[in-house]
């Protein structure tokens, strides 16, 4: 017996789900190959010292960035309206807080064993590079947030996706709740027993 609804089709795999694992695998193979080349040229002890120095330097960078972020957070909270000595205006983020996330990412990349990740992490330690990347990230995030808030954007697509049933049918409608007046308690308004497994 046929019902008239088309059979469910298999969803296509997104490009990111296909290419990200391949890119990570290629990156890991390239890192190992470069480490082997350096070990053949300079010796295994040199590679071991480089890896240990990367771990120590990366941990120091992450620790410094974390302290900086915590200090900026406490300064911002102390300048909030209502705090003693605050001027009542909305506090702006300190200029020194820009790029803390990229600084932590740089430390993490330095800690990861490999020469390419070390070079990328060292690039993120350069202040102009961090500033340029944080500006780009802010503009990109702002653009995406505006697109999500616009009619027909991501939020509308999410609301519409919730109305699709598993069998492919779309149910159009509106939910109307009949709530009892506030003065008259309903049967479910009393104290409830605790939830126990």
How would residue 174 be classed by pLDDT, with cut points 50, 70 and 90? low
pLDDT in tens, 175-194: 666 766 666 555 666 666 66
Write out the chain in H/E/C secondary structure.
CCCCCCCCCCCCCCHHHHHHHHHHHHHHHHHHHHHHHHHHHHCHHHHHHHHHHHHHHHHHHHHHHHHHHHHHHHHHHHCCCCCCCCCCCCCCCCHHHCCHHHHHHHHHHHHCCCHHHHHHHHHHCCHHHHHHHHHHHHHHHHHHHHHHHCCCCHHHHHHHHCCECCCCCECCCCCCCCCCCCCCCCCCCCCCCCCCC
What confidence score (pLDDT) does residue 7 get? 60
pTM: 0.60
């Amino acid at each position: 017996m046929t019902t008239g609804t088309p059979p469910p089709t298999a969803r296509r795999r997104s490009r990111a789900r296909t290419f990200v694992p391949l890119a990570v695998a290629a990156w890991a193979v390239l890192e190992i190959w470069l480490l082997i080349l350096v070990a053949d040229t300079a010796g295994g002890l040199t590679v071991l010292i480089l890896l240990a120095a990367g771990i120590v330097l990366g941990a120091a960078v992450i620790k410094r960035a974390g302290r900086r972020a915590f200090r900026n957070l406490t300064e911002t909270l102390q300048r909030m309206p209502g705090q003693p000595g605050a001027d009542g205006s909305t506090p702006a983020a300190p200029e020194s807080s820009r790029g803390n996330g990229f600084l932590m990412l740089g430390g993490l990349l330095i800690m990861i064993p490999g020469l390419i990740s070390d070079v990328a992490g060292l690039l993120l330690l350069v202040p102009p590079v961090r500033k340029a990347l944080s500006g780009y990230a802010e503009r990109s995030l702002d653009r995406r947030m505006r697109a999500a808030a616009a009619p027909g954007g991501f939020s509308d697509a999410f609301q519409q996706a919730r109305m699709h049933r598993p069998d492919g049918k779309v149910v159009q409608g509106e939910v109307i709740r009949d709530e009892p007046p506030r003065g008259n308690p309903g049967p479910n308004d009393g104290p409830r027993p605790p939830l126990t497994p």
